[in-house]
Amino acid sequence: MNIKETKAIALTRNSFNIPGRGVVVELQHYQQGLEKGTLLTSEYSGLSWKVKARILFDHAEGKQVIFKNESTEYLLLRFNNSQKRGQSLEVIKKKESNNIFHYYLKPIEHSNKPPDREKLTIDSQDI
């Protein structure tokens, strides 16, 4: 299935845990944002996650795509030099131009992060 055929699917691109913050996931989707509380369910495992917030980066402020319906949190990153900071900004902009955005997710009744390339059904928005 081509992800562009439906607006009810998000595809994971990368995910990791930040202790004390939760699961960070890169999601590719074609919605006009994912509201806080949106339920995402794996088509493969049946595991679910709720959207906590969209992640915005301090060094990309004013350059990221903003959806008015999303709750956001800033993530502060440190760089060794301005070249690496600029490279990171370009990566973020390129991903967002391909509809790939960063989110904090909360696992529902489990502690797993979604695997890479996992198809997640956008089930509901339970705000």
- The per-residue pLDDT string of the chain (127 residues; one tens digit each, 9 = 90 and over) reads 444 444 479 999 988 888 878 899 999 999 999 999 999 999 999 999 999 999 999 999 899 999 999 999 998 889 999 999 999 999 999 999 999 999 999 999 999 999 999 999 998 654 4
pLDDT reported for residue 1: 41
Residue 2: φ, ψ to 5°: -80, 130
In the chain the domains, ranked by start, together with CATH numbers, are 3-125 (2.40.30.10)
pLDDT reported for residue 17: 86
Residue 32: is it exposed, middle or buried by C-beta count within 10 angstroms (0-12/13-18/19+)? exposed
pLDDT reported for residue 16: 86
Beta strands, E only, the chain: 9-18, 22-28, 38-42, 48-57, 72-75, 100-108, 119-125
pLDDT reported for residue 124: 60
